Chain A
Amino acid sequence: MDYQKADDETLLQLIAQAQENALGEMYNRYGRLVFSMALNAVGDPSTAEEITQDVYLRIWHKAETYRAEQGKVITWIASIARYRSIDVLRRQSVRPEGNRAPWAEEELELPDPLDIEDEVEASQRRHQIRSALNQLPEEQRQALALAYLQGYTHTEIAELLGEPLGTVKTRIRLAMQKLRQMLHAGTIPNGEI
């Protein structure tokens, strides 16, 4: 079985059958993403490592609970990683460093057309969302990062940033509205796709 050629859903089915190589391939695809989400949330590499391990053990034991109609495999995995990271962050009651830049600045190279379909699509979406985020004002990017990666509420973000609650609400709402518009319109600055 060539696991590298299997699509994500097939890999999950193989993981549900306790095929360790399938879990290894799933790590090759999304281990970096999970580790990065965790590290951006908690700010500590060893905690991010524990979270990544926990996320993959959940995938190993719960692969059969994935339902394709609820979203793509990458969305499912990212959701597990996000909630686990927020959970750990709240348990620790420690605010991570504020200087980290959670959103990627760099533009990515376009995928090799020989890559499997899931990877090509993910690369295109990655390019789109990064380009869209790069167009947002810094204060909106910052508020969105605190909300998405660290799960802070409006009130908590207002306290963290020392800004009025209404300002924070507006920043997050505007950021989401702009991202929605840009993703929906497929707006790619310096359009390459």
Chain B
Amino acid sequence: MLVDEHVLDLIPAYALGILDDADARRVSVHLDACASCRTELRAYSEVVDALPLAVTEFEPPGHLKESILRQARLSKAAEPAPQPGWWQMLKKSLSLNAPAWGMVGLALVLLLGASNLFLWQRLDRVEMSYQQMADQYLNTLRTVPLEGTEFTPDATGLLVISLDGEHGTLVVDRLPVLDETQQYQLWLTKDGERTSGGVFSVDEGGYGAKWIGSPEPLASYRSFGVTIEPAGGSPGPTGEKVLGGDL
């Protein structure tokens, strides 16, 4: 498929997110290089954004609001108290041993000066190679290998992220088969916050695959983990971690 072949017929379905992986990849590659098709996509995305307003409306149960607020209250109350940061701990330590730290501080300043000189000399070379890597990186599908844990040493997984970084596909193998009350749940982590990437099950051989959509671009998350959770998933990880990896 040449990049300069327009994909106009596929863009409405792409905006709806219902293309199969091969067509979605084809559209995604083309969009990266075609401004007019990106304009088309924006127009169809506006249609998709308006569709929720057209659904037949139903009155939610009267107790639902209070139930949501109660759960929100409980979940905040259950969050762990913030731990003191490294700076607070350092300040506390320094205040207890002030005289001895004076000499150590002077030595550190001299050491830092010397290392800065060395680092400046290397910076130009590093910047050039980084740019080359970045160019290559942006035109390649990103993958995140997931490794098993002590609990599942044989398990393995791979997360493939789309070219635009928006979504991806998770493939896992050799995971234990769970009973029907449990499922695996993918967690996406950024800035210490975990978001569910969805739940999935595996076949008798421990193999499973799942399309991953997320509230924010998938490539914006730094770490990925899979835990065992009650069927349907949990608001936060509660069970054994079985796979993990970093972008």
* Chain A residues near B (Cβ < 8 Å): 18, 20, 23-24, 27-28, 31-33, 35-37, 39-40, 45, 48-50, 52-54, 56-58, 60-62, 65, 71-72, 74-76, 78-83, 87-88, 91, 100-105, 122, 125-126, 128-130, 133, 144, 147-149, 151-155, 169, 172-173, 176-177, 179-180, 183-184
Contact = CB atoms under 8 A, between A and B. Distances in A.
A84 B60 CA distance: 17
A176 B64 contact: no
Residue among B46, B53, B193 facing the most chain A CB atoms (10 A cut-off):
B53
A78 B52 contact: yes
Contacts of B69: 20, 23-24, 27
Contacts of B49: 71-72, 75, 78
A4 to B, nearest CB: 15
A39 B52 contact: no
Max chain A Cβ within 10 angstroms of own Cβ: one of B16, B54, B71, B201: B54
Contacts of B76: 18, 60
B81 to A, nearest CB: 14
A80 B18 contact: no
Contacts of A78: 49, 52
B68 A56 contact: yes
Contacts of A32: 57-60
B72 A81 contact: no
13 contacts: A18-B76, A20-B69, A32-B58, A57-B68, A57-B72, A65-B216, A91-B201, A133-B54, A144-B51, A151-B17, A154-B20, A172-B16, A179-B47
Interface stretch (B7-15, B106-114, B237-245): B7-15
B3 interface: no
B60 A126 contact: no
A91 B180 CA distance: 12
Contacts of B12: 172-173, 176-177
Interface of B: 9, 12-13, 15-20, 43-44, 46-61, 64-65, 67-69, 71-73, 75-76, 183, 193, 195, 198-201, 213-216, 232, 235
A79 B217 CA distance: 13
Given A91-B201, A176-B12, A176-B44, 14 more contacts: A18-B76, A40-B56, A56-B68, A58-B215, A62-B193, A75-B49, A76-B215, A105-B56, A125-B50, A149-B55, A155-B20, A169-B13, A172-B18, A184-B43
Given A88-B232, A129-B50, A176-B44, A23 B58 contact: no
A80 B232 CA distance: 16
B68 A52 contact: yes
B56 A20 contact: no
Contacts of B59: 32, 35
Nearest to A101: B56
A46 B16 CA distance: 26
Contacts of B67: 53
Nearest to A50: B232
B18 A147 contact: yes
Given A31-B65, A49-B64, A61-B193, A153 B215 contact: no
Interface centre among B13, B51, B55, B65 (most CB of A within 10 A): B55
B64 A153 contact: no
B232 A91 contact: yes
B75 A61 contact: yes
Given A23-B69, A129-B51, A36 B58 contact: yes
Contacts of A48: 58, 60
B60 A180 contact: no
Contacts of A65: 193, 215-216
